[in-house]
Amino acid sequence: MKKRFDFSTLARSKVTWAVVAEALILLVCLFVRPDFFKISYQPTTGMLYGNLIDIVNRSSEITIIAMGMTLVIALGGTDLSVGALVAVSGAIALKFLRWDVTIYNTPGDYTVYPFILVLFVPLIVCTLMGLFNGFLIAKGDIQPIIATLILMVCGRGIAQILTNGKQFTTQYSPFRVIGQGSLFFLPMPIIITAVVIALVVLFVRKTAFGTFVEAVGINRKASRLSGINAQMIIFIVFALTGFLSGISGLIYSSRIMSNDSNNAGLNFEMDAILAVVIGGTSMTGGKFSLLGTVLGSIIIRTIVTLVYYFGIASEATMAFKAVIIAVVIVLQSEPVRNYFAKRGKAKAMLANGGMRG
């Protein structure tokens, strides 16, 4: 039997409203500057070229982190250390590429240590840092916001120490591929993000893992009593978030072919949390939506691209972003969703011939 279209459940879903918000933003663009949507082929880079591509491309770093953040928030926590881990990841990668800048003093198409170390050591270190967060939270029973604050504060310091406070640059072409290369006419970060999303969704939804996360997020004690190893779940989720921050850091540093311990990943934790919230996952934990998060991240990046594209004055940028985000959040609020859901129901009833029983 075909499931009947039900407006009321659709209207109650936060994800729907995230879609509506994104559609509204793009609709405004369409009226103001139709050429915003132009996509062309750029023969020199072999990639598609256009604002929509940019939005998805530039949202990659946040989307990847926000996949982990969704699970963290579903557990009822937050991870503030992700931005600092982005800086750590980039610093390690550039450290292996350049090692000692006094010996290898000009950046060029070379790497001092094998490329495999450049790729995997940052990911391993970030995973370990994620595990450290998980350890404090699961074993130490420290609130996530406090536990992850530690690495948020000292992570950048670690990145600074690794690179002696210097900004290394490189021109090593295999490293460039991560952030600036292309595959199937698309920028590489989009491909990497797509793979990450697919793997996380498969892992979470095709196994019982997602259900376990929700159970722990709703009531940790109850979930333990029902036989779920809550500590293990927390370990895995924080380690995964660390690992994903590491990937994000590699993309970030490959885009600029350098490490930037002060600015890499700055405020990423806030953007990632915002993406998760806009995507319809509640900060109180429990149910979560990974695809909603992807959408949330894209909405955030759409706003930034709009600001750039329409040349909104730098002084007004923050206010502009705040207004749009406020509108999105209000659209998703309980009363608004209920209002539309009720109206939908009433209409459906009218269509069925008025009130019955």
Partner 1 sequence: MKKLLALVLAMVMVMTAVSALADTFKVAFSQIGQESDWRTANTDSIKNDVGGHEGWELIYDDAQQKQENQIKALRNFITQGVDVILFTGVVSTGWEEVLKEVNAEEIPLILVDRMPDCINEIEYAAAFGGDFVEEGRRQTAWAGEYLKAQGRGDEEVNVVIMEGTTGADAQVGRTKGNLAGLEAYPNMKVIAQQSGNFTRAEGQALMESWLKSYDKIDILIAQNDDMALGAIDAIKGAGKVPGKDIIIVGCDSVKAAFDAIVAGEMNATIECTPLYGPFVVDAIEKLQAGETMSKTLLHPEEGVYDMDGGIDLGTVVSVKAADVIDQRQY
Q: Which residues bind partner 1 (CB under 8 A)?
A: 33, 38, 42-45, 47, 49-51, 54, 58, 106-107, 160, 165-167, 169, 180, 252, 255-258, 260, 262-264, 266, 304-305, 307-315, 317
Joined together, the tokens standing for residue 322 give 């705040």
Which long-range contacts link 104-107 to residues 24+ away (Cβ below 8 Å)?
107/168, 107/169, 107/170, 107/171, 107/257
User: Contact, 242 vs 131, CB < 8 A?
Assistant: yes
Residue with tokens 């923050």: 318
Q: Which is nearer to partner 1, 310 or 339 (CB)?
A: 310
Q: Which is nearer to partner 1, 48 or 237 (CB)?
A: 48
User: Contact, 250 vs 70, CB < 8 A?
Assistant: no
Q: Which is nearer to partner 1, 16 or 51 (CB)?
A: 51
Q: What's the min distance (Å) between Cβ of 314 and partner 1? A: 4
Q: Which is nearer to partner 1, 50 or 344 (CB)?
A: 50
Q: What's the min distance (Å) between Cβ of 146 and partner 1? A: 20
Q: What's the min distance (Å) between Cβ of 151 and partner 1? A: 18
Q: Which is nearer to partner 1, 268 or 340 (CB)?
A: 268
Q: Which is nearer to partner 1, 43 or 227 (CB)?
A: 43
Distance between CA atoms of residues 58 and 307, nearest Å: 14
Q: Which is nearer to partner 1, 140 or 165 (CB)?
A: 165
Joined together, the tokens standing for residue 27 give 């609709």
Distance between CA atoms of residues 129 and 88, nearest Å: 10
Q: What's the min distance (Å) between Cβ of 220 and partner 1? A: 37
Q: Which is nearer to partner 1, 137 or 264 (CB)?
A: 264
Q: What's the min distance (Å) between Cβ of 57 and partner 1? A: 9
Q: What's the min distance (Å) between Cβ of 192 and partner 1? A: 17
Q: What's the min distance (Å) between Cβ of 188 and partner 1? A: 12
Sign of CA dihedral 232, 235, 241, 246: negative
CA angle 328, 332, 335 (to 5 degrees): 130
Joined together, the tokens standing for residue 130 give 């994620």
HSE of 303, CA atoms in CB hemisphere, 13 A: 23
Nearest to 107 by CA among 186, 197, 167: 167
Distance between CA atoms of residues 266 and 152, nearest Å: 10
Helices 82-98, 115-138: axis angle to 10 degrees equals: 150
15 Cβ neighbours under 8 A, 6+ residues apart: 279, 280, 289, 291, 292, 295
Q: What's the min distance (Å) between Cβ of 72 and partner 1? A: 24
Helix extents (H) in 163-226: 173-180, 188-205, 209-218, 220-225
Q: Which is nearer to partner 1, 142 or 150 (CB)?
A: 150
Q: What's the min distance (Å) between Cβ of 153 and partner 1? A: 11
